[in-house]
Amino acid sequence: MRFPDVDVHPGDVRRRLDALRDTPLNFDPDTLGGAGWEHDDYRQRLPAEQPGLPERGGSWETAAALSRSYAFADPSLVEACFDARVPLEQREMLLILHALGARIYAGVRVGSAGTETRTEDGADARVFFWNYRTLEGHVEAGQRDFEVWKWLDTGQVEFRTHSRSRPAETNLLVRLGFRLLGRHKQVEFGRRACTRMALLTEANLDVPDGAAPSDAFDGRLLAIYLRDHHALLVALAELAGRTSTATDAGEQAAFADELARAAEDDRVCLEGFLARLDSAPSRARDAAAWTAEKVGRLKLNGRLLRPSPLSQVTELEGCGLLLESTRALWSTLTHLAVGPPDAAERAARAERLRATAEQLRLEAAYRAVREHDPSAEQPTG
């Protein structure tokens, strides 16, 4: 029995990886599937191809390459270290599991890998497959399989991952921790693996010749980033509504109406993308942004009993700042090649609206400070 290798700081990965060559499995493969084993099965549709054998550079081939490099694993949950020069079917991998701020070093060994034609429900499919098995020192015992299927009759492509696992034979404290946290992490890994495989396959198909990054985003951190921007879009929509009702000027009213529609459109799009990341907007962040916009209305801007001409200036400055954050959001997703297909167009729209807000702001500022300019008044007597 080997106890888990746990650390709170990055350690010597090379030494740990080399040590896996002589490390045995922590279970008997012949016992897989019996009593006491957990079974997980996840499937994710990928962009389809034309019927027939996999297309060169197509969805199946792209997903198979991503699978081979373990790119579907979310690094916020698990990182993998391995020697890429070693053929997949002979490979040991050092997994770094992240839990409660700790780094758990766990070894696995590839059991089998290859490509074959399988028949399921009377239909033939081309399947790229591989699996790994856990080694001594891992907190769990078992095998996880990864497969990319293409149905030859329809062209449908699918990613699958399934596992059979149970807590490793180790000390009682580790077994208890696995029961409390490990099962949740296993389920989260399966869901996020499917999400990332779909996003990365689409990204690499949209950006040919391997130019799209295969590990460009940490799913947990990306979701946090998107939730922050969702809150800013809530504030932008509220500010657009305030600007629309506070002015009778035709150009500014038209701008505010267009801004409100754009903010709503971006918000809905962002919510859809968050759902693909197995996440959702933060109610607390959204409420804070909504409240901050309402509190901002209490600023007097030099007037107490009637509207101040500076109010339009302040509102348009706020619109400009929030539009810049919106442009940055869609520009970032375009750069990462993992966002909605129209992210670049959304960034361009935000930039156009920001330029309009800036023009209107300068005009409003001029009117505000010139309203009582003595030099602009006609001389008397």
Contact 46, 201 (CB under 8 A): yes
Rounded distance, CA 108 to CA 80, Å? 10
Which pLDDT score is estimated for 203?
A: 83
Torsion of CA 70, 74, 78, 80, to 10 degrees: 30
The pLDDT mean for the chain works out to: 85
pLDDT tens across 332-346, in order? 998 888 888 899 999
Structure tokens at 229: 């921007």
pLDDT above 90 covers a percentage of the chain that reads: 51
Which pLDDT score is estimated for 153?
A: 96
pLDDT tens across 256-266, in order? 999 999 999 99
Q: Give 125's pLDDT tier (boundaries 50, 70, 90).
A: very high
pLDDT tens across 277-314, in order? 878 899 999 999 888 888 776 665 555 545 666 778 88
Q: Give 378's pLDDT tier (boundaries 50, 70, 90).
A: very low
Which pLDDT score is estimated for 235?
A: 93
The pLDDT of residue 72 is above 50 = yes
* Overall average pLDDT of the 354-377 stretch: 79
pTM here? 0.75
pLDDT tens across 155-196, in order? 999 999 999 988 887 766 666 666 666 677 788 889 989 999
Which pLDDT score is estimated for 368?
A: 80
Which pLDDT score is estimated for 379?
A: 46
Rounded distance, CA 139 to CA 147, Å? 24
Q: Under the phi-then-psi rule, with left for phi > 0, alpha for psi from -120 to 50, and beta for the rest, what region is 3? A: beta
Q: Which of 10-14, 37-41, 309-313 is the least confident region?
A: 309-313
Higher pLDDT, 377 or 317: 317
Which pLDDT score is estimated for 176?
A: 66
The pLDDT of residue 118 is above 60 = yes
Which pLDDT score is estimated for 171?
A: 64
CB neighbour list of residue 273: distance below 8 Å, 6 or more residues apart? 226, 333, 339, 340
Which pLDDT score is estimated for 297?
A: 64
The 10 Å Cβ neighbour count of residue 9 is: 6
What structural domains and CATH numbers belong to the chain?
5-206 (3.30.530.20), 219-374 (1.20.1260.10)
Residue 277 DSSP SS3: coil
Higher pLDDT, 349 or 211: 349
HSE on the CB side for 58, CA within 13 Å?
19
Which pLDDT score is estimated for 154?
A: 97
The pLDDT of residue 206 is above 80 = no
Higher pLDDT, 199 or 369: 199
Phi, psi (deg, nearest 5) at residue 49: -120, 180
* Overall average pLDDT of the 228-237 stretch: 94
Rounded distance, CA 62 to CA 127, Å? 13
Which pLDDT score is estimated for 92?
A: 96
Q: Give 44's pLDDT tier (boundaries 50, 70, 90).
A: very high
Higher pLDDT, 169 or 127: 127
Residue 104 DSSP SS3: strand
